[in-house]
Amino acid sequence: MALEAEEKTRVRRGTIVPMRGNEAVAYAVKLSRARVVAAYPITPQTIIVEKIDELISKGEMDAEMIHVESEHSALAATYGAAVGGVRAFTATSSHGLMYMYEVLWWVAGSRVPVVMAVVTRAIGAPWNIHVEHSDILSTRDTGWLVAMAENNQEALDLTVMMFRVTEDPRVYLPGIVGLDGFILSHTVEPVEVPDQELVDEFLPPRRQPYTIESGAPIAMGNIIPDEAFEEHRMDMHESMREARRVIEEAGREYGKLTGRDYSGLVECYKCSDADYLFVGIGSWMGDAKIAVDALREKGLRFGALRLRWIRPFPWDELREYGLEKKAVIVLDRSISFGYAGPVFLEVSSALEAKPSMVGVLAGVGGVDVNYEDIVKIAEHVVSLVEEKGRVYVPALWYHLGEFYPMKPGPLPTRKTPRHVNKLLEELWSKKS
């Protein structure tokens, strides 16, 4: 009896295998027992579907692959399968995601759980296959849950978790797991692949609000009166908020089973006692953590707050860790042209621009940013804050070691101290 009880509470691990981020996602899809995968190739997503096809061909995975002729069809076919009552998966990047865009909305509005991986990549023109977050952040308003992995292990774990969270009746919305193109997708890291029985225990059989099939004449998606439409949207919003709790529960349970706890919508690295905070998404937050240690050695108390989830938005956590800081530096890998980076805009609204805030744009289109760059960014911001007191700079480009402040556009001027604007003007005129 004692042994049995011990067996039940013991953290069960899996097998550690070196693999690329894309393969980690493929194994997660296999472990989650997805039955239909529809996808169209695009760099850097391709390895995911190649690997899944390989697993199916070897008889290791019981699923059907639909070799569709476009991403629009990829998501539509995935959706068709999900509506038909099976777990379904697709993956894409960049232009592929843009081509899917209307289907994203349709899937979310249908309240049918579907899981997709987005391997982040720049959007053309001109062509660029490297990392950027314009693609994944464009899904922000579609009604999909959006999570972003920092490493290959998390790419696997979040994919398994996403199936459970999206299929929870309190949520019933589709979900995206993001992983950075090449930095994760094509880079080998040791990944612990959980045992099948562990995943089976974590992930209950598929649940969904309805299926389309004979014998049950349900119509999905027909025209609805405006008032009912608005209520439908209110309900989606409520479910997205409810998803917070479901994520916390699922993350905690996953932690009990694997030893890797995902109960937090954010990951906080030394941010409790920090004076300054980095905030951002994705793989470079790993470099930010190294930068935090380097800066602390220099006597600057930094911390790093990584948003693991973008939707639902970790509003409470941001305020808890961010409001009282001297300055918050938001790292953005994409830009809303003429204003600031999308993550900055989200974070800034949550923090009501109370602390000093600087939105740093860097690493766009795969330009390499390492921890030394992040240290340099930190030191620059610290000097700005020390010199000027409170600052609010929505868009400060960091490009190849140089800073390029953006001419102030539609800033929340009421809250922006005049001297900051003046400083920006000075810097701008110097640059041009």
Partner 1 sequence: MAFNIKALPKKNYIMPGNAACPGCPENIGLKFVSMALGEKATLVVPAGCTSVIQGLWPRQGTSMPVLNIVFAAAASAASGLSRALRIRGKDDIVVVWAGDGGTADIGLQALSGAAERGEDFIYICVDNEAYMNTGIQRSSLTPHGAWTTTTHRGNPGRKKPLPQIVAAHRVPYVATASIGYPWDFISKLKKAASIKGFKYIHLHAPCPVGWRFDPGLTVKIAQLAVETGAWILYEHENGKLKLNPPSNKLVDPSKRKPLEEYIKLQGRFRHLTDRDLEELKKEIEENWREITAILRAQGDL
Distance of alpha carbon 155 from alpha carbon 91, whole angstroms: 13
CB of 46 to partner 1, least distance (A): 18
CB of 110 to partner 1, least distance (A): 9
| Burial letters 95-105, b for 16+ CB under 10 A, else e | bbbebbeebbe
- The yes or no reply on residue 2 touching partner 1 (CB under 8 A) is no
- Mutual orientation of helices 152-166 and 226-258 as an angle, nearest 10°? 130
- The yes or no reply on residue 188 touching partner 1 (CB under 8 A) is no
Taking every pair of Cα atoms in the chain, the longest distance, rounded to a whole number of angstroms, is 76
- The yes or no reply on residue 1 touching partner 1 (CB under 8 A) is no
CB of 229 to partner 1, least distance (A): 9
Nearer CB in complex with partner 1: 106/404: 106
Residue 22 corresponds to which tokens in the numbers above? 């894309």
- In Å, how far are 230, 301, 394, 412 from 421, measured between CA atoms? 41, 27, 11, 11
Q: Which residue in 205, 223, 273, 432 binds partner 1 (CB under 8 A)? A: 223
Nearer CB in complex with partner 1: 213/379: 213
Q: Which residue in 9, 15, 222, 429 binds partner 1 (CB under 8 A)? A: 222
Residue 60 class from Cβ within 10 Å (0-12 exposed, 13-18 middle, 19+ buried)? exposed
Segment lying near partner 1 (by CB under 8 A), choices 42-50, 79-87, 184-192, 270-278? 79-87
- The yes or no reply on residue 300 touching partner 1 (CB under 8 A) is no
Among candidates 358, 359, 271, which has minimal Cα distance to 319?
271
- The yes or no reply on residue 29 touching partner 1 (CB under 8 A) is no
Nearer CB in complex with partner 1: 163/269: 163
Residues 227-266 that bind partner 1 (CB under 8 A): 228
Residues 58-77 that bind partner 1 (CB under 8 A): 64, 66-70, 72-74, 76-77
Residues 251 and 265: beta-carbon distance below 8 Å = no
Segment lying near partner 1 (by CB under 8 A), choices 147-155, 172-180, 206-214, 281-289? 206-214
Residue 180 corresponds to which amino acid? Answer: D
Per-residue binding letters, 96-115, with partner 1 (x by CB under 8 A): ------xx--x---------
Size of the site for partner 1 (CB under 8 A): 42
Distance of alpha carbon 85 from alpha carbon 257, whole angstroms: 27
Residue 177 class from Cβ within 10 Å (0-12 exposed, 13-18 middle, 19+ buried)? buried
Nearer CB in complex with partner 1: 41/84: 84
Handedness of CA 338, 339, 344, 347 (dihedral sign): negative
Segment lying near partner 1 (by CB under 8 A), choices 6-14, 49-57, 207-215, 335-343? 207-215
Distance of alpha carbon 290 from alpha carbon 293, whole angstroms: 5
Binding site for partner 1 (CB under 8 A): 35-36, 38, 64, 66-70, 72-74, 76-86, 88, 102-103, 106, 212-225, 228
